[in-house]
């Protein structure tokens, strides 16, 4: 692994119909794994979609005004593997 | 995988609300509701809400709640606490409510050392009525009646209410948080916890939270956090203004803010501050 | 029996009625009422706060009421002026506030009955004529406030506040009242059934609520029911009166005395003494005016209750004011017009269709 940093693994659920498209989660995500959709929800807003690499840090949940996210994290970070 | 962040706080009846996109107030709402829950205070808390955009939370907060008038929450909270001294009582007010209409109420309540917690949602404008200047609007800030920016000579100077309250003997814990990024949100929640603990221990506590109001500021939602740091955040300085009997200077607060922001960033990069 | 000034008697009567919270701001001639509460409430396990302003006093009472306590505030008219928004909204929040006006003179009739606040709201207004009646009406005030979940105002004055009488604060028995199942104590947090005490007509998500329009209409309907059942009035000699005099409060006692004296001299004069200023005894005034030749209104102001008297009389007889503005040199107290001889002169002038004597002047002190 580069830099010797072991990152935890996580995921989020996204309540896309609740989102109001404010974009605050996008830059808030440290690994930058959220991007706004091209589709819109029933309110007409774009909403975030999750790419690979979520660490479960919950920054998105902290900055989201609309209670869109639920965040999960692995209990222990995965063991380091030979490949990096 | 374990759940590290619930979608909504347990003390919130529904995640649906009608705050504008990019509004900072729900971030503060999550902070204090989770703080109350985690301290085990949910079944002894009585909230007293003022009038502003946040008034709609009175309908969705699962706490016993008394709706007060604009500016008047601290006196109502005083009456509640005196009759129910074992309860935890807090006010929820905006800057127009607390620092304009209700300035004497919060000052008197703090001076008296009432064992309540006053929470201020400060976005530097009257949000609900369309974005006019309040007593906390900073110099240079554009609002509906200061379109070219607040000017001291014509509009006077802002009142830094957190700093003012920190000077009062009766105020035990005075803090100013902010919700402009994840680290600040997490720090603010810790301030809420300390504030409620201060009340349980018998003192007056105050938590001001700088919140984004892109609608009232006439800016796109994504620019809210940076705009706030550059305007309100430069004048109303984040930090624990008064704690453990010590009033901190602006320099001390600045130093701490830089240090803590870096800590928070690192924690997030490593994979999380538990929210 | 104990010799007490009116302020003390009212405070004791409040405590006998279960009042355990009071907040107020010093202002003549109300200050002594606050002093008595400040001394006595802590002795009874209650709370009295010397609030930093009248506005805050009313707010503090609001909070105390929301927890289900019996609570009161008060001032003189000028101080109550500062509380008007709160009074309007407390009425909409359906909280049982008792308000004491220890008025400067008798010029707060409009403020008490019309309200200086905004919106369609009504308070029951009780106007005791002396300390004995004040002790009963104060206890009644707390009962009616809880019965209707509505503020009740007790309208006194300098004389009532400061005169001393031998009083017996016997607790009055009232019908039992339902539990306050709307009051908050924090215990319902997180249950999904937490309570909201609010003037605004909306409730918690997931619980039914009327919305602002239905809420306002329901309160108005409640006020109509109050008006239909809570009128209190005292009359004397009105059945065959040629002249009827209407007066309330301390002046009401003086007028009653004068009219009874004149009746014993054979004069066909009657009196109507409203005890509730709201709901106003329109019917009693109307039937007193039936067959009378004239109606006089004795009040210590430029003429406020006379509007309600005219509404009650509804043209049956001419209505005129026989009182006027009269106050002592300080402006806080009792004017020289509150004098049995002078009132007798004025009632007789009315009765004989003679010109009204001029108003007495007070002694200037500044």
Q: For residue B238, how far is the Cα from the chain centroid?
A: 11
Residue B229, classed as helix, strand or coil, is helix
CA angle C336, C165, C346 (to 5 degrees): 30
pLDDT exceeds 60 at position A1: no
Mutate to test the interface with A, among B12, B182, B224, B262 (most CBs of A within 10 A): B182
**B5 → closest Cβ in A8, A28, A71:** A71
Say which residue the tokens 């909270």 belong to.
Answer: B77
Rg (CA), chain C: 21
The tokens describing C296, both together, are 């006089």
Flag if A66 and B25 touch (Cβ within 8 Å). Answer: no
- A/C touch flag: 3 or more CB pairs below 8 Å: no
Q: Are B82 and C21 in contact (CB under 8 A)?
A: yes
The tokens describing B253, both together, are 């607060």
- What is the tens place of the pLDDT at every residue in C247-278? 999 999 999 999 999 999 999 999 999 999 99
Mutate to test the interface with B, among C38, C66, C92 (most CBs of B within 10 A): C66
Collect all residues of chain C within an 8 Å Cβ-Cβ radius of residue B59.
Answer: 196, 202-205
The tokens describing B33, both together, are 């509701």
Between B259-273, C5-19, C149-163, C326-340, the lowest mean confidence (pLDDT) is in B259-273
Sheet holding C98-103, edge to edge: C47-50, C19-24, C70-75, C98-103, C152-157, C124-126, C276-278
Nearest C-alpha of chain B: how many angstroms from A45?
A: 10
Q: Which of residues 26-55 of A touch B (CB under 8 A)?
A: 26-28, 30, 45, 55
Higher-scoring residue by pLDDT: A82, C121: C121
Q: Are C156 and C10 in contact (CB under 8 A)?
A: yes
Flag if A5 and B6 touch (Cβ within 8 Å). Answer: no
Collect all residues of chain A within an 8 Å Cβ-Cβ radius of residue B127.
Answer: none
- What is the tens place of the pLDDT at every residue in B42-98? 999 999 999 999 999 999 999 999 999 999 999 999 999 999 999 999 999 999 999
Identify the segments of chain B with pLDDT beneath 70: 274-275
For the segment C112-139, the average pLDDT, to the nearest whole number, is 95
Tell me how far apart the alpha carbons of residues C59 and B46 are, in angstroms, rounded to a whole number: 16
CB of C208 within 8 Å of a chain B CB? The answer is: no
pLDDT exceeds 70 at position A82: no
Nearest C-alpha of chain A: how many angstroms from B60?
A: 13
Flag if C185 and B65 touch (Cβ within 8 Å). Answer: no
- What is the tens place of the pLDDT at every residue in A30-62? 999 999 999 999 999 999 999 999 999 999 999
pLDDT at B274: 64
- Interface B–C counts its CB contacts (< 8 A) at 153
pLDDT at C115: 85
- C/B touch flag: 3 or more CB pairs below 8 Å: yes
Rg (CA), chain B: 17
pLDDT at A83: 39
Give every CB contact of residue B133 below 8 A, 6+ residues apart in sequence.
B125, B126, B141, B143, B144, B145, B146, B150, B155
Tell me how far apart the alpha carbons of residues B197 and B103 are, in angstroms, rounded to a whole number: 25
Collect all residues of chain B within an 8 Å Cβ-Cβ radius of residue A75.
Answer: 1-2
CB atoms within 10 A of CB C178: 8
Flag if B275 and A77 touch (Cβ within 8 Å). Answer: no
- What is the tens place of the pLDDT at every residue in C329-351? 999 989 999 999 999 999 999 99
- Interface A–B counts its CB contacts (< 8 A) at 128
Continuous H helices in B170-223: 182-200, 214-217
pLDDT exceeds 80 at position A78: no
Residue in C with minimal Cα distance to B106: C56
Neighbours of chain A (3+ CB pairs under 8 A): B
Q: Determine what percent of chain C is predicted with pLDDT higher than 90.
A: 96
Q: Are B48 and B97 in contact (CB under 8 A)?
A: no
pLDDT exceeds 60 at position C227: yes
pTM equals 0.95
Give every CB contact of residue C277 below 8 A, 6+ residues apart in sequence.
C109, C112, C113, C125, C126, C127, C155, C248, C305, C308
pLDDT at B275: 58
Per-chain mean pLDDT for chain C: 97
For the segment C347-362, the average pLDDT, to the nearest whole number, is 97
Flag if A58 and B179 touch (Cβ within 8 Å). Answer: no
Instruction: Give the burial class of C107: count Cβ atoms within 10 A of its Cβ; 0-12 exposed, 13-18 middle, 19 or more buried.
Output: middle
The tokens describing B108, both together, are 């008197």
Residue of A31, A32, A35, A29 whose CA lies nearest to A59: A29
pLDDT at A62: 97
pLDDT exceeds 60 at position C44: yes
pLDDT exceeds 80 at position A6: no
For the segment C325-329, the average pLDDT, to the nearest whole number, is 94
Where residue A80 falls (left for φ over 0; alpha for ψ -120 to 50; beta otherwise) is beta
Bridge partners (DSSP) of residue B5 are A71
CB of A78 within 8 Å of a chain B CB? The answer is: no
Flag if B69 and C23 touch (Cβ within 8 Å). Answer: no
pLDDT exceeds 50 at position C70: yes
Flag if C184 and B46 touch (Cβ within 8 Å). Answer: yes
pLDDT at C105: 82
Collect all residues of chain B within an 8 Å Cβ-Cβ radius of residue A46.
Answer: none
Collect all residues of chain A within an 8 Å Cβ-Cβ radius of residue B177.
Answer: none
Residue in A with minimal Cα distance to B3: A72
DSSP state of B178: E
- What is the tens place of the pLDDT at every residue in C272-323? 999 999 999 999 999 999 999 999 999 999 999 999 999 999 999 999 999 9
The tokens describing A51, both together, are 């790419």
């Amino acid at each position: 692994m580069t830099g010797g940093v072991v990152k935890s693994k996580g995921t989020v659920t996204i309540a896309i119909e609740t989102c109001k498209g404010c974009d605050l989660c996008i830059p808030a995500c440290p690994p930058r794994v959220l991007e706004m959709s091209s589709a819109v929800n029933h309110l007409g807003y774009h909403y975030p979609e999750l790419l690979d690499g979520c660490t479960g840090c919950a920054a998105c949940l902290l900055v989201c005004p609309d209670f869109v996210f639920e965040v999960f994290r692995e209990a222990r970070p995965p063991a380091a593997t030979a490949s990096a | 995988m374990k759940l590290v962040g619930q979608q909504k706080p347990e003390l919130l009846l529904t995640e649906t609300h009608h705050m504008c996109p990019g509004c900072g107030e729900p971030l503060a709402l999550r902070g204090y509701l989770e703080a109350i829950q985690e301290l085990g205070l949910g079944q002894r808390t009585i909230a007293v809400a003022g009038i502003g955009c946040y008034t709609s939370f009175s309908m969705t907060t699962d706490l016993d709640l008394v709706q007060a008038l604009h500016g008047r929450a601290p006196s109502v909270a005083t009456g509640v606490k005196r009759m129910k001294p074992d309860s935890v009582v807090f006010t929820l007010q905006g800057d127009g409510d607390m620092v304009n209409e209700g300035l004497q109420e919060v000052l008197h309540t703090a001076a008296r050392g009432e064992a309540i917690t006053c929470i201020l949602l400060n976005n530097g404008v009257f949000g609900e009525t369309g974005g006019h200047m309040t007593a906390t609007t900073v110099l240079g800030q554009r609002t509906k009646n200061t379109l070219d920016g607040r000017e001291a000579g014509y509009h006077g100077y802002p009142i830094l209410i957190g700093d003012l309250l920190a000077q009062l003997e009766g105020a035990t814990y005075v803090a100013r948080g902010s919700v402009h990024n994840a680290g600040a949100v997490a720090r603010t929640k810790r301030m809420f916890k300390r504030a409620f603990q201060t009340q349980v221990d018998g003192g007056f506590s105050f938590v001001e939270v700088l919140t984004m109001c892109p609608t009232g500021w006439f800016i796109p939602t994504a620019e809210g956090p940076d705009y706030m740091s550059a305007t309100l955040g430069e004048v109303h300085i984040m930090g624990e203004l008064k704690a453990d009997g010590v009033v901190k200077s602006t320099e001390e607060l600045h130093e701490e803010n830089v240090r803590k922001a870096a800590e928070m960033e690192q924690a997030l990069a490593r994979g999380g501050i538990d929210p | 029996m104990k010799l007490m000034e009116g302020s003390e008697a009212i405070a004791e009567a409040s405590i006998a009625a279960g009042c355990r919270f009071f907040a107020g701001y010093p202002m003549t001639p109300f200050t002594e009422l606050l002093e008595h509460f400040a001394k006595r409430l802590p002795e009874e396990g209650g709370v009295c706060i010397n609030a930093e302003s009248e506005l805050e006093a009313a707010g503090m009472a609001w909070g105390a009421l929301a927890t289900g306590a019996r609570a009161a505030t008060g001032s003189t008219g000028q101080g109550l002026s500062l509380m008007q928004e709160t009074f309007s909204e407390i009425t909409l929040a359906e909280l049982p506030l008792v308000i004491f006006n220890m008025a400067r003179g008798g010029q707060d009739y409009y403020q008490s009955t019309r309200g200086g606040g905004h919106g369609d709201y009504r308070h029951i207004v009780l106007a005791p004529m002396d300390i004995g009646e004040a002790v009963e009406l104060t206890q009644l005030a707390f009962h009616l406030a809880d019965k209707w979940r509505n503020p009740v105002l007790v309208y006194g004055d300098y004389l009532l506040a400061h005169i001393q009488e031998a009083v017996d604060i016997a607790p009055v028995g009232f019908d039992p009242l339902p539990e306050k199942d709307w009051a908050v104590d924090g215990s319902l947090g997180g249950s999904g059934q937490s309570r909201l005490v609010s003037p605004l007509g909306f409730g918690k998500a997931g619980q039914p609520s009327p919305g602002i329009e239905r809420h306002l209409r329901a309160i108005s309907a409640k006020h109509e029911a109050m008006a239909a059942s809570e009128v209190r009035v005292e009359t004397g000699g009105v059945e065959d009166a040629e002249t009827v005099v209407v007066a309330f409060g301390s002046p009401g006692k003086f007028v009653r005395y004068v009219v009874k004296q004149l009746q014993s001299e054979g004069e066909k004069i009657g009196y109507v003494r409203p005890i509730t200023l709201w709901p106003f005894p329109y019917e009693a005034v109307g039937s007193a005016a039936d067959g009378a030749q004239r109606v006089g209104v004795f009040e210590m102001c430029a003429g406020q209750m006379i509007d309600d008297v005219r509404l009650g009389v509804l043209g049956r007889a001419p209505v005129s004011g026989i009182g006027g503005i009269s106050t002592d040199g300080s402006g806080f107290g009792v004017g020289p017009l509150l004098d049995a001889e002078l009132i007798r002169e004025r009632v007789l002038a009315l009765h004989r269709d003679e010109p009204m004597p001029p108003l007495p002047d007070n002694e200037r002190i500044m």
